[in-house]
Amino acid sequence: MVKRALISDIHANLESLEAVLEDIRQQGVEEIYCLGDIVGYGPNPVECVDLVRRHCRKTIMGNHDQGALFDPEGFNAVAEQAIFWTRDQLERPVGSSQQMAERWDFLGELPLRIEEDGVLYVHGSPRNPLNEYVFPDDIYNPKKLERLFSLFPRLCFHGHTHVPGVFTPRPEFFSPEDVEYEFPLGQEKLMVNVGSVGQPRDGDARACYVILEEDRIRFRRVEYPVEKTIEKIYAIPELDNSLGDRLRLGH
């Protein structure tokens, strides 16, 4: 197995994405998979789409990516306003008309799931790749987790909740801190939330991603100039200030 970085939920946070890509480079990773939500909430959707296209070997559709393409469904007022602004940015002539068309084609052709060598990659869950959330508290809903674990062969990597950690079939949930940022891979099935690059929600404001190796996964936390991103959000009337505030708090 190649050494693979798994990133998700960038949410148009350019400063965070750039810091994560540099950390990935320093870790000697061979390829990057993105598990969706390149855009939404943040101030740099065009730049983030371009970076993902350039650096990620494979990318999956997230619900905010779909929302930018079509009418957003199930979004709260803040998220909906942000996604309409995001769509407007993607429609602006940044670069050539060909580059603009290529961005839309890229988003429109993203798959909902990828399965390779017994490993499933989705944005939400194995049952509903686009929209279903799998939260740590779902360990108290064993029927839900039993159903989810029945839908993939060995490993499932996902995002969507912005809360990183490992689910086991027992069921248990381990945060990155619980396992000292590493978890061994054996015969047991696992679901792994890779966390969020651009809008962490586990109380740690640093960007989060996962490195998949032959015998283990490693969670990485990366510092980035969060105040710079917050200032950008504050300067855009269509992006609610709360979207900046939560970056500072990590939830």
d(CA 243, CA 120): 30
Q: What percent of the chain has pLDDT over 70?
A: 99
Predicted pLDDT of residue 100: 82
Q: What CATH number is associated with residue 111?
A: 3.60.21.10
Alpha-carbon torsion (33, 155, 13, 28), positive or negative: negative
Count the domains in the chain: 1
Other beta carbons less than 10 A from residue 84's beta carbon: 15
Q: What is the pTM of this model?
A: 0.96
Residue among 42, 158, 196, 39 at smallest CA distance from 108: 39
Q: What is d(CA 122, CA 175) in angstroms, rounded to the nearest whole number?
A: 19
Give the domain range for residue 182. Answer: 4-249
pLDDT of residue 72: 83
Residue listed under structure tokens 């559709």 = 61
Short-list 148, 161, 166, CA closest to 216: 166
Residue spans of beta strands (DSSP E) within 101-181? 113-116, 119-122, 155-158, 165-168, 172-174
191 contacts 184 by C-beta, under 8 angstroms: no
One digit per residue, pLDDT tens: the chain, 251 residues? Answer: 789 999 999 999 999 999 999 999 999 999 999 999 999 999 999 999 999 999 999 999 999 999 999 988 789 999 999 999 999 999 886 777 788 889 999 999 999 999 999 999 999 999 999 999 999 999 999 999 999 999 999 999 999 999 999 999 999 999 999 999 999 999 999 999 999 999 999 999 999 999 999 999 999 999 999 999 999 999 999 999 999 999 999 98
Q: What is the pLDDT of residues 66-125, one digit of tens each?
A: 999 998 878 999 999 999 999 999 988 677 778 888 999 999 999 999 999 999 999 999
